[in-house]
Amino acid sequence: MTRPRLAALTTAAVATLTLLQPVAAHAGTDLSQNLCRNDQIGSLRDTDLTILNGHPASYGYQDPTFIGPGTPLQDGDVVRIRARGAIKIDSWPWGPSYSPAGHPTERLTTFLGGISAPSYGLYGFFPSTGTAFPAGADSGCVVYRGPRTWLWLGQNDDRTVDNSGRWDLTVRIWNF
């Protein structure tokens, strides 16, 4: 093989290998995490959502017939959810109510994502990856890794049909 041909073949091989390397999320994931940790303004406008009577809420959901609040999440986006309020978990007048933090000592496996999280507390779920995380009153800075998706937010309760009350949520995204 001639030298010019070998050089061209080597260049083509290096270019092909470069294309096959995994692409990092986006360059600003570290910046996004730092901004989140320091409670700085997000790259998108904060989105307010409500979980009413234990019914879930969605952020960034889109299909051909419906576009929900928020924008779909991309690999490397940083999400923070803050929540407040109280949801009563049964129909009895003396039944307990819970904040988004849930029960202080009881845990329950979540319906979506299958993680152990505080009973009656708030949790998040990324449908594209099937991963869940406890959100509580403040989720902290959660880095999303995976294909484009939306965020499902729900109460960790096996039976929400008898729940009453509301949680007010604020979702903040950093994607610099």
Could you identify the residue written with the tokens 């779909």?
72
We report the CATH number of the domain holding residue 31 as: 2.60.120.430
Decide if 63 is inside a domain: yes
Q: Is-contact 153 169, C-beta < 8 A? A: yes
Total Cβ atoms within 10 A of residue 88: 18
Rounded CA-CA distance 121/156 in Å is: 5
pLDDT of 14 strictly over 60: no
**pLDDT of 114-153, one tens digit each?**
999 999 999 999 999 999 999 999 999 999 999 999 999 9
Decide if 10 is inside a domain: no
DSSP 13: H
Structural domain range at position 81: 23-174
Decide if 1 is inside a domain: no
Decide if 16 is inside a domain: no
Task: Indicate the pTM of the whole model.
Answer: 0.83
pLDDT of residue 139: 98
Q: Is-contact 8 157, C-beta < 8 A? A: no
Rounded CA-CA distance 140/80 in Å is: 6
Which residue would you say has higher pLDDT here, 25 or 80?
Answer: 80
Decide if 7 is inside a domain: no
Decide if 3 is inside a domain: no
pLDDT of 39 strictly over 50: yes
pLDDT of residue 176: 85
pLDDT of residue 28: 81
**pLDDT of 90-122, one tens digit each?**
988 889 999 999 999 999 999 999 999 999 999
Q: Which amino acid is at 137?
A: A
Counting residues of the chain whose pLDDT is more than 70, the rounded percentage is 85
Decide if 13 is inside a domain: no
Indicate the number of domains in the chain. 1
HSE-up of residue 6 (Cα within 13 Å, Cβ side): 3
Decide if 119 is inside a domain: yes
pLDDT of residue 161: 93
What string of DSSP letters covers 62-123?
B-SS-B-SS--B-TT-EEEEEEEEEEE-SSSTT--EE-TT--SS-EEE-TTT--EEETT-EE
Mean pLDDT of 62-84: 95
111-144: b or e for each residue (b if 16 or more CB lie within 10 Å)? ebbebebbbbbbbbbbeeeebbbbbbbebebbbb
Output the six-digit token pair for 151. Answer: 């965020």
